[in-house]
Structure 1
């Protein structure tokens, strides 16, 4: 089938390789040819029939389809990073492993199901900040009336409580702010123009499942702390119309606005709490970066006019060679 011809991993690999043609992870905009994602865009319908080449689409849907396709590409080619783990490489890097817990209110038996969420979509219409919206996602939902739970222990449908908890947090997580509300009856979509405050640093320990806290030992007590790494902004009233750009934190810690082919340095104040923020990307902080000293918390760098000369590391992993070789002619 045509949908199997696109290897999103190989396509992204080529784009990154085109950016980093020079050694030592440097990008010289004057001497290097410009990298382009146009070949990927021309095959966008193979990623999902939802998209059409030359037409604007929803960036949150694109990100979901892209990550799912990356998982499929590596799974098909049996790429293995950890032979003791059934989790795919992409799932080890992006997203959250969410456990859905249902507790019967009659016998108190608990059942749970684990799922990988590449992006958390959060409601924003009645909230003013990311913490409120996130808390609603992880709050207890009472299942009753037409939503009764079929309890195997009680042998009947019973009222119960349902809650989502984080089982495992990957190094990179995305929050999708649900700015577009679709009215099925009117077949129309409106944009929710509310300001959602979001911090530079978030702590997710409260949302982790207590029984799985011990599995998050890589950063000890700091394994639940994430720092803002990028923001996708959508300007305009419709998801298929308007303008999109991104704020990106570079490896040097400074922030840049990436707007089409132009990248300019910006203050952190311009990044935080943007009126049209649509997707937030947070990256897990290693323990040694939490504090500069025992009593001096780490802070964001001051604005600089420096030009960005480095970005994605040029690291080659042999475990991915097989996938790239198979799709070389795509």
Structure 2
């Protein structure tokens, strides 16, 4: 999903770019990047779509890793173009200080994440249904939370669920002052 979300997209005829130099509408493309990674990464999967006048649920399984989600391919600072330098210039001081002190890649802290929790929507539509969650703690044991019921489950159960929101924790935290924990 992340690769699809961040791939280069050719914009259609209804989305032509108005060139300020030649004053003409031009075909163009767009691409999404992540400029700086957070310590807690929340991925909200699109589970509902519009069909004419109503929304319906997209009830397909989307695979996701429990361990070793590598976000480095999606970080803007790993692939910097000249036209993008003005966008990231204000972050350069922190990035350079961190790189000199800790010798990490172009992203502050680790770009590797591990899954900590997910939210799952059960039901057929937008206006109805029920939410449950799976979460783990330092002991690596997964728990399923369903209202007042909490049960222990295994990783396979988590991997087979149809996640709606995923919460990943960065392996090496980055603090505002440039230090890692």
- Normalising by the smaller structure, the TM-score range is 0.7 to 0.9
Q: Which residue of 1 aligns with 2:104?
A: 220
Q: Which residue of 2 aligns with 1:299?
A: none
Change in Cα spacing, 1:242 to 1:143, as seen in structure 2 (3 Å) is closer
Q: Which residue of 2 aligns with 1:286?
A: 172
1:252, distance to aligned residue in structure 2 (A): 3.0
Q: Structure 1-normalised TM-score?
A: 0.42
Equivalent runs, 1:167-316 vs 2, <5 Å: 167-183=35-51, 185=52, 187-201=53-67, 202-209=69-76, 210-211=79-80, 215=95, 217=99, 220-221=104-105, 223-274=110-161, 276-286=162-172
1:166, distance to aligned residue in structure 2 (A): 0.8
Q: Which has the higher contact order (CA 8 A, sep 6+)?
A: 2
Equivalent runs, 1:69-80 vs 2, <5 Å: none
Q: Deviations over 1:110-160 (max 9, x none)?
A: xxxxxxxxxxxxxxxxxxxxxxx2111101111342211122233322122
Report the Cα distance in structure 2 between the residues aligned to 1:251 and 1:152, rounded to whole angstroms: 54
Larger strand percent: 2
Structure number, greater radius of gyration: 1
Report the Cα distance in structure 2 between the residues aligned to 1:166 and 1:280, rounded to whole angstroms: 17
Change in Cα spacing, 1:138 to 1:188, as seen in structure 2 (3 Å) is same
Q: Structure 2-normalised TM-score?
A: 0.74
3-state SS of 2:3 partner: helix
Report the Cα distance in structure 1 between the residues aligned to 2:37 and 2:44, rounded to whole angstroms: 16
Q: CA RMSD in A?
A: 2.4
Report the Cα distance in structure 2 between the residues aligned to 1:207 and 1:141, rounded to whole angstroms: 15
* Higher alpha-carbon deviation: 173-182 or 163-172: 173-182
The answer for unaligned runs of 5 or more in structure 1 is 1-132, 288-330
Change in Cα spacing, 1:282 to 1:219, as seen in structure 2 (3 Å) is farther
Q: Deviations over 1:209-263 (max 9, x none)?
A: 1236973757824621111110101111012212211001123332111111222
| Count of aligned residue pairs for this structure pair | 152
Q: Deviations over 1:293-321 (max 9, x none)?
A: xxxxxxxxxxxxxxxxxxxxxxxxxxxxx
The answer for unaligned runs of 5 or more in structure 2 is 81-87, 174-181
* Contact 1:219–1:286 (Cα < 8 Å) also in 2: no
Q: Deviations over 1:253-283 (max 9, x none)?
A: 3211111122222111111131x32111111
* Contact 1:228–1:281 (Cα < 8 Å) also in 2: yes
Q: Which residue of 2 aligns with 1:143?
A: 11
